[in-house]
Copies of this chain bind each other. A is one copy, B any other.
């Protein structure tokens, strides 16, 4: 999907400003991917026989999915200029990705979906950190 995200950024009719296009595209892509993966991990946890032990994981999965979806949309929009809002949202998204990764890593050896989800969360956490640094 990075390809499509970058392609759309290239078609933006006005100046995109000083932010690195690659860093921005990588973060948008990571947010959409993480939203999908966390939605899938919540559902896979729900299908496990031991679901009663996974309710905390399901809950942070759902929160992380909602936050990544909102962040992916807000970052996609380049019109208007609210750097304070963008920065606060990326920080919240980074915190959700970290919390979800830590939770999933606890059962990564038992549940393959948690292992894959933890990786997607760590990638998105890093992409958020990179974008925050680029915006500084």
Chief secondary structure at chain A's binding surface: helix
C-alpha gap A112/B51 in the complex (Å): 22
C-alpha gap A76/B34 in the complex (Å): 13
- Which residues of B are found within 8 Å of A134, using beta-carbon distances? none
C-alpha gap A9/B81 in the complex (Å): 28
- Which residues of B are found within 8 Å of A8, using beta-carbon distances? 36-37, 40-41, 44, 113, 116-117
- Which residues of B are found within 8 Å of A52, using beta-carbon distances? 49, 51-52
Copies of the chain in the assembly? 4
Taking a contact as CB atoms under 8 Å apart, the answer to whether A70 and B72 are in contact is no
Nearest-Cβ distance from residue A133 to partner chain B, whole angstroms:
17
Taking a contact as CB atoms under 8 Å apart, the answer to whether B1 and A43 are in contact is no
A interface list, Cβ under 8 A from B:
1, 4-5, 7-14, 28-29, 32-33, 35-37, 39-41, 43-44, 46-49, 51-52, 55-56, 58-60, 62-63, 65-67, 69-70, 72-74, 76-82, 84-85, 88-89, 91-92, 95-96, 99, 111-113, 116-117, 120
